[in-house]
Copies of this chain bind each other. A is one copy, B any other.
Amino acid sequence: MSKDTPAKLIDAAVILFAKKGFSTVTIREVAEASSANSALISYHFGGKEGLYRAVLEQQFAEVGRALLSVSTQNERPLDRIATFAWAIINLHQTNPYLLRLVNAELSTPTPSFKEVVKLYIGRNFEFICQAIREGIEVGEIKKEIQPEYAALALAGIINFYFLAKPLEQQFVTMNSDSDSEYGKQAIQIYLNGIRRNGSE
């Protein structure tokens, strides 16, 4: 059995919205890419805006699933941070459109987006902050580190690479395992950066 029309439309729209941004994409484009009729977008989703909302919901459902496994583990703080970072890297690899969609909303978040994001991103942010606080308490992490800023630094070092990939490819030649190679380097730099060294 082949996919039904709403699913076909969403699948095509995810790619187009991620690549070109909401306003640049036309419903005729989406229709052609999904071999459906443009009128069906209004019929099934109430319009272009409704299709976009459906796309966001489908994509963010993935985030919740991916990170559920991490937060239930119980390693030591530094290891927990590394596990989390790899989960994010894996998420971006398996779902390359997610970050682009988020990015489009970064500068001027829409109200509906804010709600969705605050839930998913806020949860992750708190998870990392907590791991850092614990790390400081048990002496694994330098006590000068401020958990909130250090959490943002981790977000930057992991996410920016995937975000700017189209630009980066103009300067660095990348192959199939550049992502995990970057992950190794980035996580190593970050953990060494916050780790409390014995001498101190």
Instruction: Point out residues on A near B: beta carbons under 8 Å.
Output: 18-21, 23-24, 100, 103-104, 106-109, 114, 117-118, 121-122, 125-126, 144-146, 148-150, 152-153, 155-161, 163-164, 166-168, 170-172, 181-182, 185-186, 188-194, 197
Interface of A is mostly: helix
Given A108-B20, A122-B171, A160-B159, A149:B186 Cβ within 8 A: yes
Residues of B within 8 A of A118 (CB): 170
- CB-based contact A160/B167 at 8 Å: no
A185 touching B145, Cβ below 8 Å: yes
Give the docked Cα–Cα distance between A104 and B104 (Å): 7
Which of chain B's residues have a CB closer than 8 A to the CB of A158?
156
**Across the A-B interface, the 10 shortest Cβ-Cβ residue pairs:** A156-B160, A193-B193, A189-B193, A149-B185, A160-B160, A192-B193, A156-B156, A156-B157, A23-B23, A100-B107
A161 lies within 8 A of B172 (CB): no
Q: What CA separation (Å) do A20 and B106 show in the bound complex?
A: 10
- Beyond A23-B24, A150-B189, 5 additional pairs, beta carbon < 8 A: A149-B182, A152-B160, A189-B194, A192-B194, A193-B193
Closest to A126 in B: B171
Chain B residues near A104 (CB, 8 Å)? 21, 107
Cβ of A117: which chain B residues have Cβ within 8 Å of it?
Answer: 167, 170
Closest residue of B by beta carbon distance from A152: B161
CA distance A92 to B191 in the complex (A): 26
